[in-house]
Structure 1
Amino acid sequence: MSRRTVLITGASSGIGRALALEYAAREHCLLLVGRDEARLADIAELCRARGATVVAGRIDVRDRQALAGWIVARDGETPIDLAIACAGIVSGTSALRPLDPGEAMRAVLAVDLMGAVNTIEPALEAMRPRRRGHVALVGSLAGLRGFPSSPAYSMAKAAVHAYAEGIRPALRREGIAVSLVAPGFVTTPLNRDLVAPQPLKISAARAAGIIRRGLDRGKPVIAFPFILYAGMRLLTLMPARFGDWLLDRPGVDVPLTHEKEVGGP
């Protein structure tokens, strides 16, 4: 196996952490970005124990300048082959909170959408002159159709989907692959306190394995589990009232995020 340099944001938790472990091998250099210093140091050591070279950066993906500067500097040391924008948060509604408050909505957009853009933009600036590379954006099956329990999260992920789909054709002509990752329910701290049905839920390690296999094959869309993906695609073709009824489940409680938009109140 040839040496590869892989950038992963959101690497200190959830799917990002599992992806770091999935790619940790003697042949790989991992560039891991996260906000929690202790968890980031822990995953870095675990990956080094598996033989990987690791450079960790404690950076908030909402900080565009800091993240871009770090990515450009790391690419100058070892050119990035694969960049995975995985950082994300979730917020949602409950019986007593039927809509996302404005500050929560803006925080989700800042991390899940703009954090992905802040990651991919400098990675592409480095890859395009080389006319090679691969970028992956982690969306969600919730990006296929708005969930009443998490409208802001659905909005952010839908935008991530559209961004990945929109840039893919032009970048393909430049020799750069773009993959959209759309997982279903995965066991992560992100949904630990979620009170809702979570059909066909899988572990983060299993999700990381599916994602890696899809990326290794250069798949433009890596959506799983297939039955949920197909169901969500079908739902978008059905009358809106049916989708509203099916997804609007009483008793669902998605915790409100404590994050705020950078620069907000």
Structure 2
Amino acid sequence: MHIRIFITGASGALGCALALRLAGPGVSLSLWGRNRPRLDEVAGFCRERGANAEVRSLDLSDCDAALAALHNDDNKGPFDLAFLVAGQGDTLAPGSIVENPAQVVRLAQTNFVAPAAMAAALAARMAARGAGRIGVVGTAAASHSLPFAAAYSGSKAGLSRYIDALRLAVSRYGVTVTLVSPGFFAGTTPSRPGEISADEVAGKMIAAVRAGRAELVVPRRFLLLRWFDRLLPRPFRDRLLLSLRAP
């Protein structure tokens, strides 16, 4: 049995971990990322494991070009699984009161517009075929109004709500859409309380997407923080959020 898998952000830590875990005989990987040398390196590792790996280096801020490329790649061979990982987590610049408007636009484009549009395009194609599984990476920060990362948390909050709505829209057509919300994310190994390594996130994400789960929050303690944020009286919540600083 042959399986076609699409991964964005494959030149980053989580995208790479997903690619390596999924690579094997009978697997074709379409790996997208911004860092072409790193992308080629990841593809080489995947080929060593027996997978067929193709790469595409592009900036997702050009949404029209990304959608055209996605349609082209899916036309060459329909994707069975898709992992939308790419995103940016820039925070407030030192000494600034609010984020630069250009940064707000860029994060909204990269963290919400591009992945939402690509998820919609994939979901529509998969629904027409009657099968498919999509995993989209959000963040636990989407549940919190972070003063030092307003554009990041806000753009990911929009993505979270959109992906949940998309999941409902295509559920009757044999397509599942899973939102994955990591907490503090470590590229290789945890260095702070609550961090989780890329490889551990990748393993849990693959299992959740294959099982068709609606959402995966890792580590699970961030589910408690989500409810704490919702239930805490606003004056106390505001005081707590204002005390936070960028990591």
Same fold, judged at TM 0.5 (above): yes
SS in 2 for 1:61: coil
Distance in 1 of aligned mates of 2:196 and 2:243:
22
In structure 2, C-alpha distance between the alignment counterparts of 1:218 and 1:81, rounded to whole Å:
13
Partner in structure 2 of residue 225 of structure 1: 219
CA RMSD of aligned residues (A): 2.0
Does residue 14 (structure 1) correspond to residue 13 (structure 2)? The answer is yes
Map residues 104-183 of structure 1 onto 2, 5 A cutoff.
104-183=103-182
- Match of 1:150, SS? helix
Unpaired segments ≥5 residues, structure 2: none
Amino acid at match of 2:48: A
Write the letter of the residue equivalent to 1:98: I
Q: Higher mean Cα deviation, 39-48 or 236-245?
A: 236-245
Matched, 1:79 2:78: yes
List alignment gaps of at least 5 residues for structure 1.
Answer: 255-265
Map Cα deviations across residues 10-29 of structure 1 (whole Å, 9 max, x no partner).
11112112111121111321
| Partner-residue secondary structure (3-state), 1:137 | strand
Secondary structure, counterpart of 1:149 in structure 2: helix
TM-score, reference length from structure 2: 0.92
TM-superposed CA distance for 1:253, in Å, is: 3.5
Q: Secondary structure at the residue paired with 1:55?
A: strand
Structure having the higher helix fraction is 2
Tell me the distance in 2 between the aligned counterparts of 1:198 and 1:26. Answer: 37
Higher relative contact order (CA 8 A, sep 6+): 1
Structure 1 residues 1-265: aligned runs within 5 Å: 2-93=1-92, 96-188=95-187, 198-249=192-243, 252-253=245-246
Distance in structure 1 (CA, Å) of the matches to 2:74 and 2:246: 42
SS at match of 2:45: helix
Change (3 A) 1:161 1:66: same
For 2:238 and 2:94, the matched residues in 1 are separated by: 16
Aligned residues of 2:134 and 2:209 also touching (Cα < 8 A): no
- Between 1:75-84 and 1:87-96, the stretch displaced more is 87-96
Distance 1:51 1:248 in 2: 50
How many residues in Structure 1 have an aligned counterpart in Structure 2?
A: 246
Cα distance change of structure 1 residues 244 and 14 upon mapping to structure 2, 3 Å threshold: farther
Over 3 Å counting, the alpha-carbon distance change for 1:163 and 1:198 in structure 2 is: farther
CA distance in 1, matches of 2:199, 2:83: 16
Q: Which amino acid aligns with 1:46?
A: F
